[in-house]
Structure 1
């Protein structure tokens, strides 16, 4: 007796089960992939938000720093302007006494044999005119002014010639000259006074009293 068993429905059922399991596995993989993508996207979004927040903090700090730098620059400019005004006031105060210092210094630096007939001041430039016994006396005057003089500097001989004095009965020849010199300011003397032996304004002003 032969028994025949039809296994086709059973195989079909197993194949459908496998297909269903495969579809379920694909669905689970898709869900897992979507979850991973969402998690990675959320993490990236959080990192971008954190970086944007840091950038905002840095931008705010940079703006505050630029503002402080601008305030410091403005403050420095105001300080320099105040220094310039203070220096201008000091120069004006010093210039008021320049005539006194100039006359006293000319008496000091003019050697024997030299007579000054006039001088003209134009700002810090002084033009001296006079007579000398010889050219050597004129050279001595130039050396005195360019050397230890605390108030005069940069002598420039602009004219020198032999002439006869108008009231001379003997017709003696003398040397007529014209020299341009520059006046020093008190701050220039202070800058150059250390180690040069140049007299300060107070010493220069007090010198005539000591000489008397």
Structure 2
């Protein structure tokens, strides 16, 4: 009977398997490291590309902000020019208003009513005068309220009786009625900001 010792052969196979295991483990580690390196390089490139895009966007945003500021300034300039143009147009429209106002007051003032003062502030006109009777004041009030194309919102502010010395050649004192009225003049255009129509005093009597 022949006996064969297999122990050395088995030991050699175990050593071979162990070598193969470590070799495979090393290859896997190398492959993992290479993959990780490739991923890091790709990630770095992507990050650089994104940073480049971000820088480009920041530059464009700054340009747009500058353009927006320029547009806002231009809009303010345009609004200022429009306001000045409107003011000039209003002045041109309203420069003849005092003339029309006085002419209208002359037309609407009845006989027996004497105007002593006319003062205009923007579109509000304050009229003071004296009348022979209360009825004359009422007539003047109705005329300016109903018959005038230039006057509206007529209000009687005050009326009071006064006694004046006798006129030349008369013996009895005169009894008159002082009154003040407020009314609104119809302006062709809106009054310019900070500007008011000229004020003045005039006396008128309807013939």
Alignment partner, residue 102 of structure 1: 101
TM-score (norm 2): 0.70
C-alpha distance after superposition, 1:87-118 (max 9, x if no partner)? 333344445433312211212343x2562322
Alpha carbons of 1:140 and 1:27: their partners in 2 closer, same or farther (altered >3 Å)? farther
Q: Higher RCO, 1 or 2 (CA under 8 Å, sep at least 6)?
A: 2
Per-residue deviation, 1:62: 2.4
Alignment partner, residue 119 of structure 2: 121
Listed as ranges, the matches of 1:1-212 within 5 Å are 2-94=1-93, 96-110=95-109, 112-113=110-111, 115-121=113-119, 123-124=121-122, 125-132=124-131, 134-135=133-134, 137-139=136-138, 141-142=140-141, 145=144, 149=148, 151-164=150-163, 166-167=165-166, 173-188=175-190
Per-residue deviation, 1:23: 0.8
C-alpha distance after superposition, 1:153-174 (max 9, x if no partner)? 5544332112345556566654
| Unaligned segments of structure 1, at least 5 residues | 190-212
| Unaligned segments of structure 2, at least 5 residues | 192-207
Aligned residues: 187
Greater Cα shift, 129-138 or 63-72: 129-138
Q: Secondary structure at the match of 2:116?
A: strand
State the Cα RMSD in Å.
Answer: 3.2
